[in-house]
Amino acid sequence: MAFWQARGRWKQARAVIAGALAAGLLVTLGTLAVQARTPSIPALPGSAVASVPLSGLPVQGQEMMELIREGGPFRYQKDGTIFGNRERLLPRAKRGYYREYTVPTPGLRHRGARRIVCGGQQPRSPDACYYTEDHYSSFRLIVE
């Protein structure tokens, strides 16, 4: 084999190796980023997860919890609809397990960012409810 042919194959092999290493590094960094953004939140009260007492919610949140237990009526059409948990910040569950409800923000004409997301098979008596004030970027377990 001529020198130039061998040199060309070496360059080609080196490019393949560099690409594989870069891809592996990206996968590793991506996995670390996902793990850093995806805390494990237990579904049951009494665990060591960030929580908020019901009395610590804004008045509108406390009122919404009461409406949830009564089955409504709800102000917004989206209230009581399925929450997909796409952010994967809540414990994994089958589709349809979580439902979302708007916590009104005084002074806003739209739904705002505050929500309560409850999980369970019976919407009026959920297994657990979570409060978010930043439109699903973080959740706190509501404890009574």
Please give the mean pLDDT across all residues of the chain. 81
The CATH superfamily assigned to 51-143 is Microbial ribonucleases (3.10.450.30)
What was the pLDDT predicted at 129?
97
pLDDT of residue 113: 96
Annotated domain spans of the chain: 1-37, 51-143
Cβ within 8 Å of residue 115, ≥6 positions away: 100, 101, 102, 103, 131, 132, 135, 136
Query: Rounded to two decimals, what is the model's pTM?
Result: 0.67
The residues that are catalytic are 100, 135
